[in-house]
Amino acid sequence: MSIHKQPLSAMPSVRQLRAFVAVYHTGSISAAAQALSLTQPAVTMLVRELEAKLGISLFDRSTRSIRRTDAAARAIGYAQRALAEMEGLSVSMSELAGVHAGRVRVVATAAVAQAMLPPAMRRFLDRHPGVSLEIEEVGPAEFVTAMEASHIDFGVGTLEAPVPALRAEVLIRETLVAAALPSATFPGGGAMTWKQLGGLPMVTVRSGYGIRGSIEAAAREAGVQLRIEHEVSLLSTAVALAVNGLGVVVVPPSIVAQEAKLVTQRLMRPTIERVIGAHFRRDRSLSPAAASFLEVLKQTVRNG
């Protein structure tokens, strides 16, 4: 990126360039003044100030007329391009500020992306069709690293431990439930203890992945040896196994809210709370488009 060494005080102003372009095209100080809604002395002063900064005359003046110099013919293209770029900058920023354009890039753990984001995405894009919305799905182990990427606006998911570089805004607090196909041993609709869960076949994520730490801590507190039949890397895969009758999965209820085949039972003794939040880097502010999507996401979560 080039850095201009010329001081800003030596650079033409927008008002000076506008006055020059108006005089150049109208051929008259009075006509230019009328077009710019300025007085003739004001236009004359702006043109003279520009000539002083450029160190060259742009017009030859007489009592009756004003004539463009060769310097003016050469300068007009630069002046018009500069004004066009300034106008383009203003229009572009207005579009971003009004959420008529821009790009929102969100990273989310896979289960959260599938369960929570689609309804919010649909509402947001219906309101702001000119904005590009990109969702990047990652596993729990890659969540924090993915949020550190420069192109990501914010992340949606659960942190297993605080991260100093990130700040969080809670989207939803949930108590873990057990979910499975309905059966005599798993009727759903009520509550069960972790000791009762210990007698049932489970599907879950591997140790070190996402929610597994909370499950292991609860089992230790309850003094239970869990009967784990299948281990996978993603919670969404564990849910899919439960949908196909391969065991009970322990999840926040929002993750299985759209799975019509599964029934849930609230887990007790102990009760484990899981927080799903929006996470942001402390050193970066949200763009208007990203802030708008976050607000839609919060409304969607609140309204179910």
Residues 184 and 126 in one domain: no
Average pLDDT for 107-126: 90
**What's the pLDDT tens digit per position in 194-222?**
999 999 999 999 987 788 989 999 999 99
Residue (of 256, 290, 60) closest to 153 by Cα position: 290
Q: Distance (Å, rounded) from C-alpha 225 to C-alpha 212? A: 14
- Higher pLDDT: 213 or 100? It is 213
Residue 4 lies in a domain: no
Residue 207 lies in a domain: yes
What is the pLDDT at residue 120? 93
Residue 5 lies in a domain: no
Q: Which of 82-91, 146-155, 251-260 has the lowest mean pLDDT?
A: 82-91
3-class SS shares of the chain: helix, strand, coil, % to 5: 45, 25, 30
Residues 157 and 191 in one domain: no
**What's the pLDDT tens digit per position in 170-189?**
999 999 999 999 998 899 88
CATH number at residue 35: 1.10.10.10
Residue 155 lies in a domain: yes
Residue 264 lies in a domain: yes
Q: Which of 48-52, 107-111, 159-163, 203-207 has the lowest mean pLDDT?
A: 159-163
- Higher pLDDT: 82 or 294? It is 294
Residues 298 and 280 in one domain: yes
Average pLDDT for 282-296: 89
- Full DSSP string of 174-210: EE-EEEE---SS---SSEEEHHHHTTSEEEEEPTTST
Residues 70 and 111 in one domain: no
Average pLDDT for 38-56: 92
CATH number at residue 123: 3.40.190.10
Residue 146 lies in a domain: yes
Residues 49 and 17 in one domain: yes
Average pLDDT for 54-82: 89
What is the pLDDT at residue 245? 95
CA 199 to chain centre: 43
What is the pLDDT at residue 201? 95
Residues 262 and 296 in one domain: no
pTM of the complete model beyond 0.75: no
Residues 280 and 167 in one domain: yes
Residues 124 and 240 in one domain: no
What is the pLDDT at residue 3? 46
Which residue, 95, 125, 153, sits at the end of a domain?
95
Residues 195 and 133 in one domain: no
Residue 31 lies in a domain: yes
Which residue, 61, 95, 129, sits at the end of a domain?
95
| Full residue range of the structural domain in which residue 84 is found | 10-95
- At 94, the pLDDT band (50, 70, 90 cuts) reads low
What does the DSSP 8-state code read for residue 254? G
Question: How many folded domains does the chain comprise?
Answer: 3
Q: Is the pLDDT of residue 96 over 70?
A: no
Q: Distance (Å, rounded) from C-alpha 160 to C-alpha 170? A: 14
DSSP H or E segment with residue 105? strand 103-109
Residue 126 lies in a domain: yes
Residues 154 and 281 in one domain: yes
Q: Distance (Å, rounded) from C-alpha 251 to C-alpha 174? A: 9
Question: Do residues 134 and 105 touch, judged by C-beta distance below 8 A?
Answer: yes
For residue 153, give Cα distances in angstroms to 158, 286, 289.
Answer: 16, 7, 10
Q: Is 304 exposed, middle or buried (0-12, 13-18, 19+ CB in 10 A)?
A: exposed
- Quote the percentage of the chain above a pLDDT of 70: 94
Residues 182 and 237 in one domain: yes
Across the chain, how many H-helices and E-strands are there?
A: 11, 13
Q: Distance (Å, rounded) from C-alpha 57 to C-alpha 64? A: 18
Which residue, 62, 77, 95, sits at the end of a domain?
95
Residues 15 and 161 in one domain: no
